[in-house]
Amino acid sequence: MKIGTRTIDNVLVIDMSGRLDSRSAGDAGDRIVHFAQGKDRRILLNLQHVEYVSSAGLRVILLGSKLLQENQGELKICCAGEAVARVLEISGFHSLIRGCMAPNQKPFRRSVHELRHISTKQQRA
């Protein structure tokens, strides 16, 4: 599992590639927790190059989302390939994480824009 980060419009984008399974979930989970507990409140997981997600990988994603929610933040998922999107759908992630989408449902830039917009609304409240 490779994990890289970049910031676009004040959204931390986490680019993941490889397999998110029991072998990689420990390290990936540590990094996701680190990001979720950091200064960034808006995180977008780009799963475009993730080939496989196991139940251990799903726990990593869910933990990151819950940590961000506890701190008035939000995690979204974008660009999941067909197989990964199917796992997310079957496991109910569409109802757990806003913006969890099937491939090509929404462009990447739109996900970044939505996170930025949500954060602006929360700051006004």
Write the pLDDT tens digit of every residue in 67-87.
Answer: 999 988 999 998 888 899 889
The 8-class DSSP code of residue 12 comes to E
- Sign, Cα dihedral of 103, 23, 34, 69: positive
Going by C-beta distance under 8 Å and a sequence separation of 6 or more, which residues neighbour residue 72?
Answer: 41, 122
Tens of pLDDT, residues 1-32: 999 999 988 889 999 999 999 999 999 999 99
Residue 66 pLDDT: 93
CATH of residue 70's domain is: 3.30.750.24
Tens of pLDDT, residues 23-65: 999 999 999 999 999 999 999 999 999 999 999 999 999 999 9
pLDDT above 50 (res 96): yes
Confidence label for 119 from pLDDT (cuts 50, 70 and 90): very low
Return the number of other C-beta atoms located less than 10 Å from residue 40's C-beta.
18
- Total domains in the chain come to 1
Q: Whole domain around residue 81: which residue ranges? A: 2-124
Quote the CA–CA distance of 107 and 103 in Å, as a whole number. 9
The 8-class DSSP code of residue 17 comes to E
Quote the CA–CA distance of 10 and 41 in Å, as a whole number. 9
* Residue type, position 8, single letter: I
Residue 21 pLDDT: 96
Let me know: does 29 contact 63? Beta carbons within 8 Å.
yes
